[in-house]
Amino acid sequence: MSCCMRDAVTLEALGIPTAILVNDVFEPIAHATSALLALPADYVARNVVWLPHPTSNLTASAAETLIDERIESIRTALLGRGGEPANGLANHKNAGDPLEVARAVVEGLAASLRADGADLVLLRYDDGALDGEVRIGDLTCEDGSCIMPADALAKMVEAMVKPKVPSLRSVTLRDVGR
Amino acid sequence: MTFIVHDPRGVRVASVPSLAARPKTLAGMRVGVLDNGKEQADVLLGRVAALLERDGATPVFARKPSFSRVAPQEAIDALAMCDMVITGLGG
């Protein structure tokens, strides 16, 4: 998902309007990536067209119907009309225990990772340092086989949590097996 | 003696990437279709291309070797000749 968005930003920078089809389970990642890349606040609302997850088990006929139902949204994304600013994670309240706030903020992201067979678990918050684990089973990121390396995910988590936990200074995530 | 204490934290400045201007119509446009290789992406994007073709657009297809990587430069170069692009499947 985040790579689709990075490709889109690359193309936008070249002057090419780009719309993105994304399964809705990845909405938290879309908003987190948007924050990480410092994209306009309404970028996701205007440029992403959501599909109900999962799509991998659809028949060809059902897949076509799904697109037929969304083609107007796709036209709108390409031609740049409409799209209300997304609320997304911005509604989360900034209160309470920092670790619990951070966990609540990234829960949607963790759910997205679980959909891909991984998980994100935040373990502790100590003096501005947030530590956690990316549980990816037998995969490692050393050969590039995982969807998102822990260091990149840590930057994403920092971008998501920092607005809600101003005392946050660092995020450290480790790849571990289940 | 007077000590001057500087704040070491600095200021984090992020530039907001600019987005491309949108055309007013699909008619006569070359629409790049960037398939990231995920299951069913070809079917879903193929349908998008077929429908946009009915609007008068001409699809130009490109496929990424891996959905977990950004598009290779040759794919970006090919799509840079398009008027607009749709990419997927983020799922």
Mark whether A75 and A117 lie in a shared domain.
Answer: no
Chain A residues with CB under 8 Å of B91 CB are 1, 21-26, 51, 53-55
Mark whether A98 and A82 lie in a shared domain.
Answer: no
**Closest CA relative to residue A8, chosen from B68, B34, B72, B61:** B34
**Is the Cβ pair A21, B48 closer than 8 Å?**
yes
Mark whether A71 and A9 lie in a shared domain.
Answer: yes
d(CA A172, CA B17): 27
Categorize the per-residue pLDDT at A80 as very low, low, confident or very high, splitting at 50, 70 and 90.
Answer: confident
Nearest to A8 among B39, B67, B87 (CB): B87
d(CA B43, CA A2): 21
Mind telling me how many Å the CA of A21 is from chain B's nearest CA? 5
Mind telling me how many Å the CA of B16 is from chain A's nearest CA? 5
Flag whether the pTM goes above 0.95: no
The contacts of residue A155 (CB under 8 Å, 6+ apart) are: A36, A171
pLDDT at A33 over 60: yes
pLDDT at site A92: 34
pLDDT at A85 over 80: no
- In chain B, % of residues over pLDDT 70: 89
pLDDT at site B80: 92
**Is the Cβ pair A3, B51 closer than 8 Å?**
no
- Enter the ipTM: 0.84
Of A88, A104, A136, which marks where a domain is finished? Answer: A88
Q: Domain containing A123 — which CATH number?
A: 3.30.300.130
Mark whether A58 and A106 lie in a shared domain.
Answer: no
Mark whether A83 and A99 lie in a shared domain.
Answer: no
A142 touches chain B (CB under 8 A): no
Pick among A6, A9, A16 to test the B interface (most B CBs inside 10 A): A16
**Is the Cβ pair B68, A58 closer than 8 Å?**
no
- Tens-place pLDDT, residues B10-47: 665 556 677 888 999 999 999 999 999 999 999 999 99
Single-letter residue type at A127? D
- In chain A, % of residues over pLDDT 90: 31
Of A28, A57, A88, which marks where a domain is finished? Answer: A88
**Is the Cβ pair A64, B47 closer than 8 Å?**
yes
Mark whether A30 and A59 lie in a shared domain.
Answer: yes
pLDDT at A3 over 70: yes
Domain ranges of chain B: 30-88
Window 48-77 of A, Cβ < 8 Å to B:
48, 51, 53-56, 58, 60, 63-64, 66-68, 71, 74-75, 77
pLDDT at site A84: 35
Mean local confidence (pLDDT), A34-48: 88
Of A68, A88, A108, which marks where a domain is finished? Answer: A88
Q: How far does CA A75 lie from the centroid of its chain?
A: 23
Domain count, chain A: 2
Query: B11, exposed or middle or buried, with CB in 10 Å at 0-12, 13-18, 19+?
Result: exposed
Mind telling me how many Å the CA of A74 is from chain B's nearest CA? 8
Mark whether A112 and A153 lie in a shared domain.
Answer: yes
Mark whether A68 and A125 lie in a shared domain.
Answer: no
**Is the Cβ pair B87, A30 closer than 8 Å?**
no
Mark whether A12 and A70 lie in a shared domain.
Answer: yes
pLDDT at site A90: 31
**Is the Cβ pair B20, A38 closer than 8 Å?**
no
Window 74-93 of A, Cβ < 8 Å to B:
74-75, 77-81
Phi and psi for B41 in degrees, rounded to 5?
-60, -40
Mind telling me how many Å the CA of B5 is from chain A's nearest CA? 21
Range of the domain at A65: 2-88
For A71, the enclosing helix (H) or strand (E) is: helix A60-79
